[in-house]
Structure 1
Amino acid sequence: MIPQSVLSVLLALPLLSSAHFALDFPPPRSSDDENQASFPCGGYGQTQNRTLVSPTSIPVAMNLGHTENLVQILLAIGNDVGSSFNYEILPTIHEFGPGDFCLAAVPVPADLNITDGTNATLQVITNAHSGGGLYNCADIQFSSTAAESPSSCKNGTGISATPLSGSAYTFANQSTGHHDDSGSGSGSSSATATATASESANSASSSSSASASATSASDNSNGAAMLSLGWGLLGAVVLGAVAVL
């Protein structure tokens, strides 16, 4: 007979091992996080289940299982994108606090000239605390008239985030030095984030180091806050999106 103390530990193991992150909106290709460390999309292929989103900005809602997270969002345009996530629409941020985390309007670069009916795939990356990254993908279609929105876009109490600046900038799957009180983790990623987003990353890094001033915004209804460290126009827009939740 298994002692009660040992049984309690065993029962807790699945909870710890599954404490990766869930993409709530846009709906992901799969909610199963067993292979979430597999690049590019947690081991799940292209689907025909596309969420309609605005061609100017995309709400992204997730639930994070770690107490510290690096978060980065990439975009691939096309009907069957494979691993070609060429556009970085959210440069890596450092997020603090587990639970609900929502960005109400992640901007889509205007110079992509996206038109209604264009198919694409969103890739959300967080860092795996035992190495590599964790990946979720959502297949989307751009629509200026019928864009969908999450049923809930909220941030848990005490959630905060700050952009990475200057030489500290990295892809979300390239750092493993962040503390995790949950004790959970995942296996190493089978590949690093696609290098084709490096040009955008370098641009974001330059923007973030351009100013030493810092401003903050907070949401009185849910305690969410984001710190803007001279992150340029993109940072200001995302900051505003968090502030109004």
Structure 2
Amino acid sequence: MISQALLSLLALPLLTSAHFELNFPPSRGTDDEDQATFPCGGYGQSQNRTLVSPTSIPVAMAFGHTENLVQILLAIGNDVGSSFNYEILPTISEMGPGDFCLPAVSVPADLNITDGTNATIQVITNAHTGGGLYNCADIQFSSTAPESPSSCTNGTGVSAIPLSASEYTFANETSGHSDAESSSASGTTSATASETASSASGSAAASATGDSGAAIVSLGWGVLGAMALGAVAVL
């Protein structure tokens, strides 16, 4: 589970400009001045929920910087507040500005999600000046009518790799973006991404507890990360 010291880090407000968008599931909203506010860039609970599969969630984003850390947390409930208890995408390193889409971020089977369950995902990236940027999307699980993004593609020069066990960090625990162009960027994720992911430790992420008292289940890399980036590689 994610621990309390970590949630305290997540809650640190920072003044910065927003440099990423969550396009699917549609975000609660994006305000450049408040996107560094935990949770959810300062946006409260929305009644507009996107239907997604109980087994996996497509997540489409757009980035303005050339290097980004990306992490996805899940909270289950009708009004989740700041209780994002499950890490469903351990932090990855994304390279290249523009569109970036993960077609199937896995929902842990042991959560025993049933149709009609409400939840919220929070996508975290590192801010340009340090700390994190936050976007949330409210969802409802449905095995019969899940929605899909109108486009799930990666921009030219976009790639992604997992962090190694020794490098693992939460996306907001960083010193900021680098805008230098990456010579290793490619039009699709490297074919070796899933191999690297599967070799990383499943216990790479640290455990902490937060002000909400909730613990975050940190899944680390292992099979989950390999599946997520493996799906990107074939887009």
TM tier relative to shorter chain:
0.7 to 0.9
After superposition, what is the alpha-carbon deviation per residue over 1:30-77, rounded to whole angstroms, capped at 9, x for unaligned? 133331000010010001000000000000000011110000000000
Structure 1 segment 1-245 matched on structure 2, within 5 A: 18=17, 20-181=19-180, 223-226=187-190, 227-228=193-194, 229=196, 230=199, 231-245=221-235
The one-letter amino acid of 2:127's match is A
Q: Is the 2:130–2:177 contact (alpha carbons within 8 Å) kept by the matching residues of 1?
A: no
Q: With CA pairs under 8 Å and 6+ residues apart, which has the higher RCO, 1 or 2?
A: 2
Task: Give the whole-Å Cα distance in 1 for the aligned partners of 2:50 and 2:119.
Answer: 10
The one-letter amino acid of 1:96's match is M
After superposition, what is the alpha-carbon deviation per residue over 1:84-125, rounded to whole angstroms, capped at 9, x for unaligned? 000000000011111100000000000000000000000000
The one-letter amino acid of 2:178's match is H
* Structure 2: tracts of 5 or more residues without a match: 1-15, 200-220
Task: Give the whole-Å Cα distance in 1 for the aligned partners of 2:30 and 2:154.
Answer: 20
Moved over 3 A (4+): none
Q: Which has the higher helix share?
A: 1
Percent identity over the alignment is 79
- Indicate the SS of the match to 1:102: strand
Task: Give the CA deviation at 1:167.
Answer: 2.0
When the two chains are superposed, the root-mean-square deviation of aligned CA atoms in Å is 1.8
The one-letter amino acid of 1:236's match is A
Task: Give the whole-Å Cα distance in 2 for the aligned partners of 1:43 and 1:125.
Answer: 13
Q: Is the 1:19–1:66 contact (alpha carbons within 8 Å) kept by the matching residues of 2?
A: no
Of stretches 235-244 and 162-171 in structure 1, the one that deviates more from structure 2 is 235-244
The one-letter amino acid of 1:235's match is G
Task: Give the whole-Å Cα distance in 2 for the aligned partners of 1:104 and 1:56.
Answer: 12
TM-score computed with the length of structure 2 as normaliser: 0.77
Counting matched residue pairs gives 191
